[in-house]
Amino acid sequence: MAGATRMRGLYRLCLGIKGWRSDADTGIAMAASQYPTGHVAAIMYKYILSIPIGALVADSVALRETAEALQIAQQAGDDFTLVQAQLARGLVLVHHDGLQQEGVDLLSRARDAAIKQRFTMNALALANPEIAKEKARNGDLDGAVELSRSAIADMYDTGAVISLGIATTVLVESLLDRGADGDLQEAQAAIDRLASVPSEPGLVLHELPLLRLRARMARVHGDYAASREFMQDYRAKAAADFEPLAAATDP
């Protein structure tokens, strides 16, 4: 029941359905009294997509819960559980001012575990876009472009496209910020490719990034009216328990 509840929360998040956050918290509460692996998994599933997409912020609750997950995993002595905790904790820390490098370190460990086949390859799809985003934040736009471009290629090759919208956002924003020859064209091609990916109707993991990226591209081309319209649609789409996104400013 705990597993089913946390997965329902994840699917509701992906489709922008209200109640996903309640499911996530209920799943954590149910698993806490059962076994360490389930408890850590419940915490991981609450944060691995909600933080990168912006549905939750890296607040004191996120810091406390993911720190607890990491402590539980370290005591459990199970590599798979430890990587789950590292992913959750790392994804929260890279979105918290002053703790980004610690988050990158944890995500890098999780990524290495996947490469060494101690965890599913989904860890790469979750970790690489966030590491690329941190490169961009630190001014390494070339590194951000290369890593996000590589991450997207891997996702298309493997079919692990759950973070495709997030990775495309990092690539497009890094290209536009760099502004080298061909970057604008590559950014538009990345947006068009994401839009062409078959997906369930209402999949906010693709729809929200597309609306925000289209808003930014419209501003680049000087079409501020279209940009505002895209952002209005973005905020409306983010109304399902995504308060941080619903209050987003124009890109």
The CA radius of gyration of the chain, in Å to the nearest whole number, is 18
The number of angstroms, rounded, from the C-alpha of 64 to the middle of its chain's C-alpha atoms is: 19
Burial category of 75 from C-beta neighbours within 10 Å (exposed 0-12, middle 13-18, buried 19 and up) = exposed
Helices (H) and strands (E) in the chain — how many of each?
14, 0
What is the predicted pLDDT for the residue at 248? 65
What is the predicted pLDDT for the residue at 61? 96
What is the predicted pLDDT for the residue at 246? 60
| CA pair distance 51, 34, nearest whole angstrom | 26
Give SS3 for 242: coil
Is the pTM here over 0.85, yes or no?
Answer: yes
With a cut of 50, list the residues of the chain below it in pLDDT: none
| CA pair distance 240, 222, nearest whole angstrom | 30
What the block records as the tokens of 192 is 């068009």
CB 91 within 8 A of CB 47: yes
CB 218 within 8 A of CB 231: no
What is the predicted pLDDT for the residue at 143? 97
What is the predicted pLDDT for the residue at 25? 96
Tell me the domain boundaries of the chain: 1-119
Q: Which amino acid is at 206?
A: H
What is the predicted pLDDT for the residue at 199? 85
What is the predicted pLDDT for the residue at 76? 85
| CA pair distance 140, 230, nearest whole angstrom | 29
| CA pair distance 135, 145, nearest whole angstrom | 9
